[in-house]
Amino acid sequence: MRVLMIAPPGAGKGTQGALIAAHFKVPHIATGDLLRAHVARHTHLGQAVKQYLERGELVPDEIVLDMVRLAVIAAKDAGQGYVLDGIPRNMAQARATYTIVHELGMTANVALHLIAEDQELVRRLVARASLEGRADDTESVIRRRLTLYKEVTHPILAWYAERGILLSVDAMPPAEQVGQEILGALEAMRPLVDGVPDRLSSLSAQRRS
Ligand code: AP5
């Protein structure tokens, strides 16, 4: 199973991405986690991206795309699946990600869109701030992340809808309930996904796009 997750901050990409990855035994590749790990380790890359993360701005495309290329190559070596959480975030990343996975014979089966109301997203992230102290979980930065999502990320959903791989799920209920809904929908697709070689599914996606 190969899943891309597209959702606003706080909708549950991390929570549900981990669940999907464990269920299908595939790597969970979360760009935010990878970037925060660099910041925590004070790597050169971490120093370059720290301020973007703190301000809730997108880090330059080439940085995340290089990270994702390496992670998908590792996922291919480990098996045939992945959960990509946090990328793509704009149309350029959507096209570049498609090129990367297509070249590796690893195109996504599903683009999973989680839907939740702004008020609930802010409530979740403010609550998380007191528990985890993430630098970007202040109310002003949360608002900036939400605005960016609406302006540059949400519009890419149409591209996945045209390719026929968009799955939208209501992420307002409790996390366990959302997880059951997602796994149920993905399990229903499993015979189709397992039965279609990547080359054929990507050809049909190309024909549709
Ligand atoms: P990233 O780490 O991806 O942050 P985000 O998109 O803002 O999302 P969050 O991690 O805040 O939320 P989530 O949707 O994962 O929800 P979660 O499951 O954690 O990115 C951080 C930064 O890195 C970006 O701002 C940017 O700077 C940079 N970056 C990353 N990718 C990039 C890219 N591709 N290009 C450029 N820059 C990039 O849940 C949140 C909270 O809600 C948790 O406490 C959880 O327990 C709770 N919760 C989850 N589901 C529910 C539920 N159903 N009901 C109640 N509570 C729930």
Work out the number of other CB atoms within 10 angstroms of the CB of residue 167. Answer: 16
- What is the DSSP pairing of strand 2-6 with strand 82-85? parallel
CA of 203 to the centre of ligand 1 (A): 32
pLDDT in tens, 2-55: 999 999 999 999 999 999 999 999 999 999 999 999 999 999 999 999 999 999
Tell whether ligand 1 has an atom less than 6 A from the beta carbon of residue 92: no
Q: Tell me what the mean pLDDT of segment 160-166 comes to.
A: 96
pLDDT in tens, 88-113: 999 999 999 999 999 999 999 999 99
pTM for the model stands at: 0.93
Tell whether ligand 1 has an atom less than 6 A from the beta carbon of residue 145: yes
Residue that is written with structure tokens 């590792």 in the block: 74
Instruction: Specify the pLDDT at position 200.
Output: 52
Kindly tell me if the per-residue pLDDT of 176 is higher than 60: yes
Q: Which residues of 69-80 are buried (b: 16+ CB within 10 A; e: fewer)?
A: bebbeebbeeee
The region, left, alpha or beta by phi > 0 then psi within -120 to 50, assigned to residue 38 is alpha
